[in-house]
């Protein structure tokens, strides 16, 4: 069988225009991915669930006071609940910040 001679082809694709457009947007790949997550119905369901959990953490002290726990125990509950809420809010804010970084004021995206 005869060998067919072909020109050498690079194994990579150089698209300077696309690379330049990406640099101009100042949007990271992580922000783009999180933006896409924020657009799903699953994210809205998860966001509602997370808010319910935050509300549940707020109710811990109300239950502790109803049960007649002392101030020290209520104080510990407050500290733990607030630390947990801060961690949860950081997760929510990570996605919200990415959404804001990708979306333009007119509703279009910087992709």
81 assigned to some structural domain = yes
pTM of full prediction above 0.85: no
For the chain, how many residues are written?
Answer: 111
Q: Once rounded to an integer, what is the mean pLDDT over residues 53-63? A: 91
DSSP single-letter state for residue 105: T
5 assigned to some structural domain = no
pLDDT of residue 22: 47
69 assigned to some structural domain = yes
Chain centroid, CA 57 distance in Å = 21
Structural domain boundaries enclosing 93: 16-102
Count the Cβ atoms, other than its own, within 10 Å of residue 103.
16
């Amino acid at each position: 069988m005869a060998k067919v001679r072909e020109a050498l082809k690079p194994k990579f694709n150089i698209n300077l225009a696309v690379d330049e457009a990406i640099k101009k947007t100042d949007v990271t790949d992580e922000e783009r991915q999180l933006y896409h997550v924020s657009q799903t119905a699953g994210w809205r369901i998860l966001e509602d669930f997370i808010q319910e959990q935050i509300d549940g953490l707020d109710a811990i002290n109300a239950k502790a006071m109803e049960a007649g726990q002392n101030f020290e125990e209520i104080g510990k509950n407050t500290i733990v609940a607030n630390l947990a809420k801060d961690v949860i809010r950081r997760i929510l804010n990570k996605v919200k910040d990415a959404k804001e970084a990708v979306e333009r004021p007119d509703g279009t995206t910087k992709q």
